[in-house]
């Protein structure tokens, strides 16, 4: 079933098409792309198709239903609550997050003010991204992220291209930590941890009037719709989190805030856009954090055939992993491309075979692995019982 809150946003003609789509498609729906006078595109189960007027799907764009200007205007009116002026800040950022944590990307004509984007006008493209909770996703990953001597998690960066499950995973990891559900025998009796989430795009918690609509556990505080760097500092000053959660880092100010959190004794759980470790090291802010040993673990996600595979790379293995992935890092990989980098280009000694290194453009960064201070946790906080 499609979320009712999303269905109510669409004009009747579009809603009718979506309701008549095959049930399997609706259950695995990821994106609905609406472009004025162009084919209606549906993303589902790591695939895409076009939708006909009767709700059936086709690979032929000329057979698809094409929404018109009136329908696009009606959709814009609904997602802005009939006040485009009130949504000016969201229009400047190029997306609007609606109830339920569903993010709607916007495309149109940019209006500049002093060389910077002021807002969008003539909006004729919408990308409706469906947010879904996936309880149990975190249980598969969390055991590999534990810092057993410190009785908490390692500083962790979750990495993937867009729409591969980063936000879904970080949400469920936050829920597990907040409940104290560590899913590992070594963590029995640990209790839960205080979690602080900086949710700039309102996607992790999907808060409504400050209250999360997703289950994030009993010990979670959310700072909603706040810029990441500023929000992390506010959380550190006022909410004393033990684990700080933030989505899609990458700017220099984000990196500086993460350094402050680490030096304050707070564990950091973050996500970033990158295809692999070579991409992480090639991004200036992320590469510097890696070189400083900021993260103890990296989680690489890859979505294929409706499922999500994950691989955990320890900091001490990050440089080798980057060399392994560098031959395929020269170009972004499409969603239907094969998964993680093949190993053929990597020699047993960790060097790249001749003729393949030139394909990668990532600068070489030496990744440090450093011991983190032990965080003493109070006894008697049961949280979720420290599930194993």
pLDDT digits (tens, 9 = 90+) for 114-154: 888 888 889 999 999 988 878 889 999 999 999 999 999 99
Domain check: are 78 and 155 in the same one? no
Domain check: are 74 and 199 in the same one? no
Q: What is the pLDDT of residue 336?
A: 55
**Residue 206: inside a domain:** yes
**Residue 367: inside a domain:** no
**Residue 380: inside a domain:** no
| SS3 per-residue string spanning 329-348 | CCCCCCCCCCCCCCCCCECC
- In the numeric block, the tokens 């867009």 are attached to 162
In sequence order, the 6+-apart residues with CB closer than 8 A to the CB of 230 are 257
**Residue 377: inside a domain:** no
Domain check: are 181 and 316 in the same one? yes
Q: Are 281 and 367 in contact (CB under 8 A)?
A: yes
User: Distance between CA 302 and CA 292 in Å, rounded?
Assistant: 26
Residues of the chain with pLDDT under 50: 329-331, 338-364, 373, 375-388
User: Distance between CA 218 and CA 160 in Å, rounded?
Assistant: 29
**Residue 370: inside a domain:** no
User: Distance between CA 286 and CA 54 in Å, rounded?
Assistant: 46
Domain check: are 142 and 125 in the same one? no
> Which residue, 129, 158, 179, sits at the end of a domain?
129
**Residue 339: inside a domain:** yes
Domain check: are 144 and 123 in the same one? no
Domain check: are 154 and 296 in the same one? yes
Domain check: are 41 and 75 in the same one? yes
> Which residue, 85, 105, 129, sits at the end of a domain?
129
Domain check: are 53 and 202 in the same one? no
Query: How far apart, in Å, do the first and last CA atoms of the chain sit?
Result: 32
Q: What is the pLDDT of residue 77?
A: 92
**Residue 364: inside a domain:** no
User: Distance between CA 187 and CA 219 in Å, rounded?
Assistant: 18
> Which residue, 71, 106, 129, sits at the end of a domain?
129
User: Distance between CA 352 and CA 262 in Å, rounded?
Assistant: 33
Q: What is the CA radius of gyration of the chain?
A: 22
In sequence order, the 6+-apart residues with CB closer than 8 A to the CB of 183 are 139, 142, 143, 176, 387, 388
DSSP for 33-86? EEETTS--EEEETTEEEEE-TTS-EES-GGGS----HHHHHHHHHHHTTT-TTT
Number of domains in the chain: 2
In sequence order, the 6+-apart residues with CB closer than 8 A to the CB of 21 are 29, 42, 51, 55, 56, 57
Task: Assign residue 83 the CATH number of its domain.
Answer: 3.30.450
Helix 12-19 / helix 69-79 crossing angle, nearest 10 deg = 90
**Residue 47: inside a domain:** yes
Domain check: are 17 and 165 in the same one? no
Identify the domain containing residue 58 by its residue range: 4-129
Q: Around Cβ 182, how many Cβ atoms within 10 Å?
A: 31
- In the numeric block, the tokens 């959380």 are attached to 235
Domain check: are 322 and 279 in the same one? yes
Report residue 328 as tokens.
Answer: 């395929």
Of 138, 5, 171, 167, the closest CA to residue 81 belongs to 5
DSSP for 222-254? EEET--HHHHHHHHHHHT--SEEEESS--SHHH
Of 172, 182, 173, 180, the closest CA to residue 135 belongs to 172
Q: What is the pLDDT of residue 195?
A: 98
Task: Assign residue 199 the CATH number of its domain.
Answer: 3.40.50.300
User: Distance between CA 21 and CA 25 in Å, rounded?
Assistant: 7
Domain check: are 59 and 181 in the same one? no
Domain check: are 161 and 194 in the same one? yes
- Residue 123, H or E segment: strand 116-129
């Amino acid at each position: 079933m499609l979320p009712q809150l999303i269905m109510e946003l669409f004009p009747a003609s579009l809603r009718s098409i979506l309701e008549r789509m095959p049930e399997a498609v609706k259950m695995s729906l990821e994106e609905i792309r609406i472009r004025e006078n162009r084919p209606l595109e549906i993303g589902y189960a790591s695939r895409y198709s076009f939708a006909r007027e009767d709700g059936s799907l086709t690979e032929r764009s000329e057979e698809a239903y094409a929404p018109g200007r009136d329908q696009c205007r009606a959709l814009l009116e609904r997602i802005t609550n009939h006040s485009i002026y009130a949504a000016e800040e969201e229009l400047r950022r190029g997306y609007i997050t609606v109830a339920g944590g569903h993010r709607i990307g916007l495309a149109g004509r940019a209006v500049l003010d002093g060389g910077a984007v002021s807002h969008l006008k003539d909006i004729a493209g919408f990308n409706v991204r469906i947010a879904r909770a996936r309880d149990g996703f975190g249980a598969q990953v969390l055991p590999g992220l534990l810092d057993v001597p410190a009785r908490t998690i390692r500083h962790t960066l979750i990495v993937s291209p867009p729409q591969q499950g980063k936000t879904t995973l970080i949400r469920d990891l936050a829920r597990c930590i907040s409940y104290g559900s560590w899913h590992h025998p070594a963590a029995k009796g640990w209790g839960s941890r205080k979690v602080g989430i900086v949710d700039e795009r309102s996607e992790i918690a999907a808060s409504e009037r400050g209250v999360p609509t997703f289950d994030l556990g009993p010990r979670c505080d959310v700072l909603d719709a706040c810029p990441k760097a500023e929000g992390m500092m506010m959380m550190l000053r006022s909410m004393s989190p033990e684990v700080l959660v933030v989505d899609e880092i990458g700017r220099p100010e984000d990196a500086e805030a993460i350094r402050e959190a680490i030096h304050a004794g707070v564990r950091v759980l973050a996500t970033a856009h990158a295809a692999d470790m070579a991409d992480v090291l090639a991004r200036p802010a992320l590469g510097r954090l890696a070189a400083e040993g900021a993260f103890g673990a990296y989680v690489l996600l890859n979505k294929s055939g409706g499922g999500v595979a994950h691989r955990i790379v320890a900091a001490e293995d990050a440089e080798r992993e980057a060399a392994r992935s560098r031959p395929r890092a020269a170009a972004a990989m499409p969603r239907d491309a094969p998964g993680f980098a093949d190993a053929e280009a990597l020699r047993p000694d960790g060097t790249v075979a001749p003729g393949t290194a030139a394909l990668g453009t990532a600068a070489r960064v030496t990744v440090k692995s450093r011991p983190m201070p032990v965080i003493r946790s109070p006894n008697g906080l049961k949280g979720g019982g420290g599930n194993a």
